[in-house]
Amino acid sequence: MTDAPAAPPAPIDAATVVVLRDGTPAAAPGHGFDAAASDAGAHIEVLMLQRNSRGFFGGMWVFPGGRVDPPDRDTPGDVVAACDPRTAGVSGLHDGDRRGFRTAAVREAHEEAGIDLSRAELTHFAHWLPPPIRPKRFSTHFFICEAPADLEAVRVDGSEILDHAWVSPAAALERRAAAEIEFVTPTFVTLTWLSGFTRTADVLASINGHTCFHTQIIPSPDTDPGHIAVYVGDSAFPDGDLDAPGPRRRCIMVRSGWRWEEHDGADTAVA
Q: Tens digits of per-residue pLDDT, 50-95?
A: 998 776 667 899 999 999 999 999 999 899 887 765 555 444 445 5
Residue with the larger pLDDT of the pair 54 and 96: 54
Backbone angles phi, psi at 218, to 5 degrees: -125, 130
* Average confidence (pLDDT) over 201-219: 92
Q: What is the pLDDT of residue 203?
A: 98
The band of 268, judged by pLDDT with boundaries at 50, 70 and 90, is very low
Give the pLDDT confidence score for residue 271 in this predicted structure.
Answer: 40
Select the highest-mean-pLDDT range: 1-10, 55-64, 182-191, 230-239.
182-191
User: What is the rounded CA–CA span in Å between residue 254 and residue 225?
Assistant: 5
| pLDDT at residue 132 in the model | 80
Percentage of the chain beyond pLDDT 90 is 63
pLDDT band for 4, please (50, 70, 90 cuts).
Answer: low
- Whole-Å CA distances, 161 to 71, 73, 175, 184: 23, 25, 19, 16
Question: Residue 39: which of 25, 57, 54, 55 has the closest Cα?
Answer: 25
Nearest to 27 by CA among 191, 184, 165, 134: 165
CB atoms within 10 A of CB 202: 11
pLDDT grade for 134, boundaries at 50, 70 and 90: low
pLDDT at 210: 86
The pLDDT, as a whole number, for residue 95 is 56
Is the per-residue pLDDT at 270 higher than 50? no
Backbone angles phi, psi at 76, to 5 degrees: -60, 135
Q: Domain spanning 12-215: which CATH class is it, in words?
A: alpha beta
Q: pLDDT at position 184, please?
A: 94
In whole numbers, what is the pLDDT of the chain averaged over residues? 87
Nearest to 252 by CA among 213, 232, 224: 224
Q: In sequence order, what DSSP letters do the residues of the chain get, joined into one string?
A: -PPPPPPPPPPEEEEEEEEEEEPPTT---BTTBPPPGGGGSS-EEEEEEEEPTTSTTTT-EE-SEEEPPGGGGGSTT-BPPPPPGGGHHHHT------BSHHHHHHHHHHHHH----TTS--EEEEEEE--TTSSS-EEEEEEEEEPPTTPPPP---SSSEEEEEEE-HHHHHHHHHTTSS---HHHHHHHHHHTT-S-HHHHHHT--S-EEEEEEEEE--SSS-EEEEEEBTBTTTTT--TT-SS-EEEEEEETTEEEEEEE-SSSS---
Residue 136 confidence (pLDDT) above 90: no
What's the pTM? 0.88
pLDDT at 92: 45
Q: Domain boundaries in the chain?
A: 12-215, 220-271
